[in-house]
A and B are shown apart, each in its own frame.
Chain A
Amino acid sequence: MPSNTSTRQGIFRLDFKSIQWGPGIVATLIGVFLLIVLVMPVAKVMYVAFQNPDTGALTINNFIDFFNAALFRESFVNSLYVASMSVVFATLIAMPLAYFTTRFNFAGSTLIQTLGMIPLIMPPFVGAVAMQLFFGGNGSVNLLLDDYFGFTVPFMEGLNGVILVQSVHFFPFILINLSASLNNIDRSMEEAALNLGSSGMRLFRRIVFPLAMPGYIAGASLVFLKVFDDLGTPLLLNVNNMLAPQAYLRITSVGISDPIGYVISVILVVFSLFSMWVSFLAMKGKDYATAQKGGGGLLRRDLKLGERIGCYAVITIILLFVLAPHTALGLLSVATVWSYSPLPDAYTFDHYIEVFETANQFITNTLLYAGLAGLIDIILGTAIAYIVWRTKIWGRKALDLVAMGALAIPGVVIGIGYLRMFYDVNLPFSDVPLATWWGIMVIALAVRRLPYALRACVAALQQVSLSLEEAAESLGASKWSTIKRVVVPLMTGGILAGFVTSFATAAVELSATIMLVAKEGDAPLAYGIYVFMQSAAGRGPGAALGIIAVIIVGLGTYASHVIIERTKKNNGLK
C-alpha cells in the first residue's frame, strides 16, 4: 500500500511543522556551540597560516618559507613515509589474522580476534618507551640476537621505531574493517565462482579480495590518518623531524605567533581530509554487504593438519609481536632496574605505591575530564542524532557534517586553535585566560570524541522504529513526552556505549591536551605519563601510570561491548 504510506508521512511531516521550534532551538544552540569550539578555532588556524605574522595581510609566503626550510621538507617527507609504511606493516599484521579467522574453521578464532583488538586499549605513546626495552638498540631482542648470532636489527632506530609502534598499535583498524568485509561476503559469491571453475588463489584474487576491498581501504585510510596526525609517539621516541612534533615544538618554544605551526596544521588537516575522502570513495556505492542477501552464511573451510600448524605458527608470531608493548610495559612497571639486559634485574611494587602517593591528581583529573567530556558528548550526540534522523529542520545535515568533521581535525590543530582563540578571553569574573583553564581541556576532549558518541547514538536511534514513536503519538503523547518516555529509554544502551567509548578514548588523549595543560596540577593521566617517561628514573612510575591507563580503557571497552550486546539482546535483535 504505497499510497497509504506516503499519506501518513505527509501528515507526519505536517504535524512536525507545528512543534518544530523546540528542536529548532536545540539545534541552534548546538550549532552555535560547535561554531565556537570547533569551526572557529580551526578556521582561525587556517586563516593565520595565510597571514603575514607582522602585517596581518594575506599571503602564501608562510608556505613558501615552510617548503624552503630543509628541516620542514624533511619532516613532511618523513610524516608521509611513516604513515605509508605503517599502513604497509599494519596490513601485513592484519591480513593473515583477518583471513584465517574468517575463512577457516579452527579453534580459537574468537580469542585471536579479541587479542587482535588489545592494542587499541593502549595509547600508542604509552607503549613506545616499553617497546624500546624489547626492540631498542640495547633491548632484549637485540641483546639476545647479538649474543647468539652476532648481529642486531635497528627496529627502533629513528623513524623505524615510530613505524613499528604505530603499526603494532593501529593495525586493529584494518583487522576490524577487513574482517567485517570478509564476514559480509555471502557464501554464494564464492560458490558461484567455484561453480564456474575458479578456485584457490585465483578465487581469492578475483572475487574475495575485491569484495573485501572497501573494508580494507576504509581501515587503511584510517591508519594513515591516525599515524600522520599523531603527536605523542614521535615525541616520546624523541623523533622530532616529523610534522606534528614540529608544530608542537614551534608553538611551545618559538611562540603562539610563529606561523610555521599553523602551516603544518593546514597540511595535517588537508591530508586528513584527503584520506577520509579516499575512504568515503571506497565505501561509496560499494557497500557490498547489503547489496545481496539470502544465500546465507559464510564459506569456511576445514584445514588439513599441516595447514593448521602453519596458521597457528603465523598467528602466534604475530600475536607475540602485537602484545609486546603490553608485556614490556607490565614488566617495566614492576622492574627495579631494567637496562642492558633481556629482562629486569628484580621486581617491585614500589612504582605503583609511588604513583598513588605522588601522582594521584593525574588519575582524578583524568576521571573528571573524561567523564565530563563523555557526558557532554552523549547529550550532544543524542540531540544531534534525533535532529538529523527524525526532524526536517533546515541545516540538519550540516550540523551532522560539522560534528563528524571533528574526526578530520588533528589534536594538535585543536590545541593550537584553542590557544590562539581563547588566550585573550578571560574566564568570567576572573583574570585567568580561558585557554589556561582546565575546563578548556574538557571541551577539547568532548569535541574530539563527539564523532564516536554521535555514531553510537545514531546507531541506537536507528534501532528505534519510527512506528514505535507513532504508536506513542497516536495514544496522545506529545513529541517531548514521546522522546522522553519511548525514544531515550530505548536508546539507553547505545547512549551508554557511546559514553563509555568517549570516556575511554578521552582518558588517554594526549595531542590536544599536551598543548592546553597550563600547570601540572591540572594535567591528566596521558600528560603525566609523558612527563614521567622523560626521565630515566620516571620510567617505572610512568609505566605504572600507563598500566593504570590501560586498565581504565580496557574496562571501558569491555563495558561498552557488554552494554551493546545486552541491548541487542533486550531489543530482540539477537
Chain B
Amino acid sequence: MSNNQSVGISIKNVGLSFGETEVLKGVNLEIAPGEFFAFLGPSGSGKSTLLRAIAGFGPAPSGEILIGDRDVTHLQPWQRNVGMVFQNYALWPHMTVQENVAFGLQERKVAKPDIVKKVRQALELVDLADLSNRRPSELSGGQQQRIALARTIVVEPKVLLLDEPLSNLDANLRVQMRRDILKLQQQLGITTIFVTHDQEEANTTADRMAVLSNGVIQQVGAPMSLYDAPVNRFVANFIGSANIIDGSITLNAAGKLSKFVSEQGLALDLSTQHSGSVSLIFRPQNTLLLADGATIDNGFNMSGQIVFREFLGSQIRYGIDVQGHLLSVDEIHSIGALHRNVNDLVRLGVTHEQAVVVNS
C-alpha cells in the first residue's frame, strides 16, 4: 500500500467567500511531493476552508487548485482521489469497521477478493485488524481515529488531508497519535496536509507549515524558521510567546546602531536595517535577568520592576514592567535556585541576535 508517485499541490490565487464574507483572499501555496505540510491558525482563519476547498467541499473557489499536474478546481469531490480524515472521524455508525473501510473500494468497483485483502492490510497498518467486526460506537476515540485513517488510505489517494485530527482526543493520546500519524505518513510517502490550531502539533509533525490569519497566509516555512524569524507580529505571537514592543526607528545610519523609541517612550539601540514604524520582538527565554550593576554589550539593556511571578515547572515566568511595557521573562528553574520577588527592581538585557525587528 505504498504510494510510489507522490504528487505536489499548487494553490494559485485561491479566493473563497461564504455569501458576503470573504474567507480566503488570494492564497498562493506550493506543497512539495511527499511533504508533511501543516495549516496553522486560530479558528476563523480559513485553514479548514482551504483544506475543504482542496477536497472539493464548500463553495466553489476562484483561482486554481492543482494536484500534481491535474487541475481539480472544478471537479466534484468524488472525482478528485483526495483522501480526507474528518475532525469527528465521520465513521458511519450503521456499518462495521470492515464495511467502513471497504466502502471506498466498493465505490471504485474493486474486485471482492482484492477488497478483503486491502481492507485487512489497511487495518493491519493501523494495528486494528482484530476489531474489524466491531461497530464504530464500540471503539474508543483513538481507535475511531485509526479506523478513519485506514478508511482513507485504503483507496490510495493522491494526497491525504487531515482536518484537526487530534482535537477530539485527550492529551496523552494526542501525543502518541501524532507520532503514529507521522510514522504512517513517512511509511506511505503520501503528500499530507494537516490542519490544526495547536502550534505544538504543527511544530512537532510538519516539514513546513503555513500560518493563516483572516484568510491570508502570513508566512510559510519550516517550524523553527517561523519561530526564529517571524515576519510579523501575528506570527511571532501565534507561535510561542513573545515580547513585542511597537515603536519607530528615529535614526538609521549605515554602520551604526539604530535609535528605536517605543510608543511609551522607551528608547533602545538596535541593530537593524529597518526604518519607520516597526515592532521589536524577542522571546521571554532569551531575555536575561542581569545581576546588580551588570550590563550586556552586544545588545540592549532595560530596567523595570517585577509585577508578578509564575511557577511553570521547568521555568519561572516573571512579568516585568518596563516603562509601561509588560514584558515576560523566563528563567530556568532548578532545585535550590534563588528567584526574584515581586516588586524587586531588576535590569534586563537582550542580545542583538535574539531580537527581531519587523515592519508593522
Binding site for B on A (CB under 8 A): 186, 188-189, 191-199, 202, 206-207, 210-211, 213, 285-286, 288, 291-295
Contact = CB atoms under 8 A, between A and B. Distances in A.
Contact of B88 (A211, A285, A288, A292): A292
The interface residues of chain A, by DSSP majority, are classed as helix
A207 B90 contact: no
Contacts of B209: none
B155 A189 contact: no
Interface of B: 55-57, 76-78, 81-84, 86-94, 103-104, 107-108, 136-137, 151-152, 155, 168
B94 A288 contact: yes
Contacts of B90: 186, 188-189, 191-192, 292, 295
B91 A194 contact: no
A188 B151 CA distance: 14
Contacts of B91: 192, 292
B88 A198 contact: no
Contacts of B55: 191, 195
Nearest to A199: B78
A202 B87 contact: no
A194 B137 contact: no
A191 B57 contact: yes
18 contacts: A188-B90, A189-B90, A189-B92, A191-B55, A192-B86, A195-B55, A195-B78, A195-B82, A195-B83, A196-B107, A196-B151, A197-B155, A198-B78, A199-B77, A291-B93, A292-B93, A293-B88, A295-B88
B247 to A, nearest CB: 42
Contacts of A291: 93, 136-137
B93 A191 contact: no
Given A188-B86, A188-B87, A285-B137, A194 B93 contact: no
Contacts of A293: 88
Nearest to A193: B103
Nearest to B86: A188
Contacts of B86: 188, 191-192, 295
A198 B84 contact: no
A213 B95 CA distance: 13
B93 A197 contact: no
A213 B93 CA distance: 12
A202 B137 contact: no
Contacts of B151: 192, 196
B79 to A, nearest CB: 8
A295 B86 CA distance: 7
Contact of A211 (B56, B57, B92, B152): B92
Contact of A194 (B78, B92, B94, B155): B78
Contact of A294 (B56, B57, B168): B168
A295 to B, nearest CB: 5
Nearest to A197: B107
Given A210-B94, A291-B137, A196 B103 contact: yes
A294 B88 CA distance: 6
Q: Which of A188, A285, A288 has the most CB of B within 10 A?
A: A188
B167 to A, nearest CB: 8
A197 B158 CA distance: 13
A197 B57 CA distance: 13
Q: Which of A193, A197, A213 has the most CB of B within 10 A?
A: A197
A124 B218 CA distance: 64
B77 A191 contact: yes
A195 B56 CA distance: 8
Contacts of A196: 78, 103-104, 107, 151-152, 155
A211 B94 CA distance: 7
Contacts of B92: 189, 192-193, 207, 210-211
B41 to A, nearest CB: 17
Given A195-B77, A195-B78, A288 B93 contact: yes
Contacts of A194: 56-57, 76-78
Nearest to B109: A197
A194 B152 CA distance: 12
A286 B90 CA distance: 15
Contact of A295 (B83, B87, B137, B152): B87
Contact of B87 (A207, A213, A285, A294): A294
A466 B253 CA distance: 69
Contacts of B88: 186, 188, 292-295
A198 B107 contact: yes
Contacts of A285: 137
Given A192-B151, A286-B93, 9 more contacts: A188-B87, A191-B77, A195-B77, A196-B104, A197-B81, A197-B155, A198-B107, A291-B136, A294-B87
A295 B155 CA distance: 22
Given A188-B88, A294-B168, A199 B76 contact: yes
Contacts of A207: 92
Contacts of B84: 191-192, 195
A192 B76 CA distance: 13
B54 to A, nearest CB: 11
B78 A197 contact: yes
A198 B168 contact: no
Contacts of A286: 93-94
A196 B119 CA distance: 14
Contacts of B137: 285, 291
A293 B84 CA distance: 17
Contacts of A197: 78, 81, 104, 107-108, 155
Closest 4 A/B residue pairs (Cβ): A196-B104, A188-B90, A294-B88, A197-B107
Contacts of A198: 78, 103, 107
Contacts of B81: 197
B94 A213 contact: yes
Contacts of A292: 88-91, 93, 136
Contacts of B87: 188, 294-295
Nearest to A203: B78
A244 to B, nearest CB: 36
Nearest to B108: A197
A188 B57 CA distance: 10
A294 B163 CA distance: 12
B185 to A, nearest CB: 18
A186 B168 CA distance: 16
Contacts of A189: 90, 92
A296 to B, nearest CB: 9
A193 B102 CA distance: 11
A291 to B, nearest CB: 5
A194 B79 CA distance: 9
B1 to A, nearest CB: 16
A516 to B, nearest CB: 46
A292 B103 CA distance: 19
A294 B57 CA distance: 16
Contacts of A192: 84, 86, 90-92, 151
A95 B77 CA distance: 27
Contacts of B93: 211, 286, 288, 291-292
B85 to A, nearest CB: 9
A189 B152 CA distance: 13
Contacts of B57: 191, 194
Contacts of B104: 196-197
A215 to B, nearest CB: 13
A295 B164 CA distance: 11
Nearest to B104: A196
Q: Which of B76, B92, B103 has the most CB of A within 10 A?
A: B92
Contacts of A210: 92, 94
Contacts of A211: 92-94
A295 B52 CA distance: 12
